[in-house]
Amino acid sequence: MSHANAALTPRARLRLARLIVDLGWSPSRAAERYDVSWRTAAKWAQRYREHGEAGMTDRSSRPRSQPNRTAAPLVRKIVHLRRRRRWGPVAIADELGLAASTVHAVLVRCRMNRLSHLDRITGEPIRRYEHRAPGDLLHVDVKKLGNVPDGGGWRYLGRQQGDKNRARTTGKRQNKYRNPLIGTAFVHTVIDDHSRVAYAEIHNDETAATATAVLANAVAWFAQRGVTVRRVLSDNGSAYKSHLWRNTCAALGITVKKTRPYRPQTNGKIERFHRTLADGWAFAKFYSSEKARRAALPSFLHDYNHHRPHTAIGKATPITRLTNLPGHHT
């Protein structure tokens, strides 16, 4: 693409070249018309003769040959050290006797210049995927949160006052370490792979019966928005390995998918959503009770789906990717 101050855009170059080639204008006369040098006019006319309209676009400035480019064996060594030891350019350069700038250029070319682009376990470049249509794949999981005691928890009030509120809320119930039992909120989360639209419910357990009920509710919720669910991806938790889960998915016409054991990255979209859930809702502000926090969840989900720009989908809001919403095409 030509720069902002270029005298000729690709369209203007084509008009200039046609004046010379098709209409027989001299390069100097055509150059005067477009306020460029005759050499520039002659260049684009020659490009037009050789390549037609395709020749009007800018060519790459990269040289055809690079005799001083880093040799392939050295590139392989740099890549190996980056993957296995997770070293930076300076450490790799010191090990191989190269300039750090050379190592950095190789890492950029191999798309390994940021450690966040590499899998933490294998060191391989992260392979990202996205299904083509809403409903092609749902990610499901459970986020566990300690209940908020009446009066507020330690995160905003400090340990001393938080422990007092916790003891008053739980009464005499204690665990084996004699700590008050406040209970756990199990947030069952569902997120659509393509659109990132999220659905969630809070329950007091993560049993198969609860998980399947949440799935059925989520499928109905998505159906109201014109989305047909085809697959569901979960980890290998007991609820998702149960016969009830398998039978419920079969009854709903959904194909069951499982992540590889000990590989939460496979279900990374919902793991990342859990972080957003914690930062934007669970710990975002002071809650005086668990009831107050649970009451704030629907508002957070609405904001996440309808108003919050999502960087993974081009800063659009998730709901805009449900192109078959009722009323969109009327």
Q: Could you tell me if 281 and 142 lie in one domain?
A: yes
Q: Could you tell me if 270 and 194 lie in one domain?
A: yes
Q: How confident is the model at residue 130 (pLDDT cuts 50, 70, 90)?
A: confident
Q: Could you tell me if 37 and 111 lie in one domain?
A: no
Contacts of 252 (CB under 8 A, 6+ apart): 215, 216, 219, 229
- What pLDDT score was predicted for residue 329? 43
Phi-psi region of 21 (alpha: psi -120 to 50; beta: other; left: phi over 0): alpha
The average confidence (pLDDT) of the chain is 88
Segment among 122-136, 261-275, 284-298 with least mean pLDDT? 122-136
Q: How confident is the model at residue 49 (pLDDT cuts 50, 70, 90)?
A: very high
- What pLDDT score was predicted for residue 262? 79
Residue 133 located in a structural domain? no
- 244 or 87: which carries more pLDDT confidence? 244
The pTM assigned to this predicted structure is 0.65
Label the pairing between strands 255-258 and 231-234: parallel
Q: Could you tell me if 220 and 310 lie in one domain?
A: yes
Residue 284 located in a structural domain? yes
* Residue whose structure tokens are 């990374």: 268
Burial of 175 (0-12, 13-18, 19+ CB in 10 A): exposed
Between CA 193 and CA 200 the distance in angstroms is 15
Q: Could you tell me if 317 and 187 lie in one domain?
A: yes
Amino acid at 72: A
Residue 10 has pLDDT above 50, yes or no: yes
Q: Could you tell me if 231 and 89 lie in one domain?
A: no
Q: Could you tell me if 232 and 271 lie in one domain?
A: yes
- What pLDDT score was predicted for residue 124? 64
Residue 157 located in a structural domain? no
Instruction: Report how many domains make up the chain.
Output: 3
Q: Could you tell me if 23 and 94 lie in one domain?
A: no
Share above pLDDT 70 across residues of the chain, in percent, rounded to a whole number? 89
Residue 63 located in a structural domain? no
Q: How confident is the model at residue 147 (pLDDT cuts 50, 70, 90)?
A: very high
Between CA 92 and CA 104 the distance in angstroms is 9
Residue 69 has pLDDT above 80, yes or no: yes
Residue 126 located in a structural domain? no
Between CA 82 and CA 112 the distance in angstroms is 8
Residue 220 located in a structural domain? yes
- What pLDDT score was predicted for residue 167? 81
Q: Could you tell me if 52 and 99 lie in one domain?
A: no
Q: Using one digit for the tens of pLDDT, what is the confidence trace for 198-248?
A: 999 999 999 999 999 999 999 999 999 999 999 999 999 999 999 999 999
Q: Could you tell me if 28 and 97 lie in one domain?
A: no
Between CA 142 and CA 190 the distance in angstroms is 9
Residue 76 located in a structural domain? yes
Structure tokens at 143: 């986020």
Residue 59 has pLDDT above 90, yes or no: no
CA-based R_g, the chain, Å: 30
Q: How many CB atoms lie within 10 A of CB 330?
A: 4
Q: How confident is the model at residue 162 (pLDDT cuts 50, 70, 90)?
A: confident
Q: How many CB atoms lie within 10 A of CB 100?
A: 14
Between CA 50 and CA 10 the distance in angstroms is 16
143: containing domain? 138-147+183-321
Residue 129 located in a structural domain? no
CATH number of the domain bearing residue 234: 3.30.420.10
Alpha helices in the chain (DSSP H): 10-21, 27-34, 38-51, 72-85, 89-96, 100-109, 154-157, 159-170, 208-223, 243-252, 268-277, 290-295, 297-306
Residue 326 has pLDDT above 60, yes or no: no
- The set of long-range contacts for 58-63, using a CB threshold of 8 Å and a minimum separation of 24, is 58/1, 58/2, 58/10
Q: Could you tell me if 17 and 98 lie in one domain?
A: no
The mean per-residue pLDDT over the stretch 266-283 comes to 92
Residue 71 has pLDDT above 50, yes or no: yes
Phi-psi region of 205 (alpha: psi -120 to 50; beta: other; left: phi over 0): beta
Q: Could you tell me if 294 and 200 lie in one domain?
A: yes
Helix axes 27-34, 38-51, angle to 10 degrees: 110
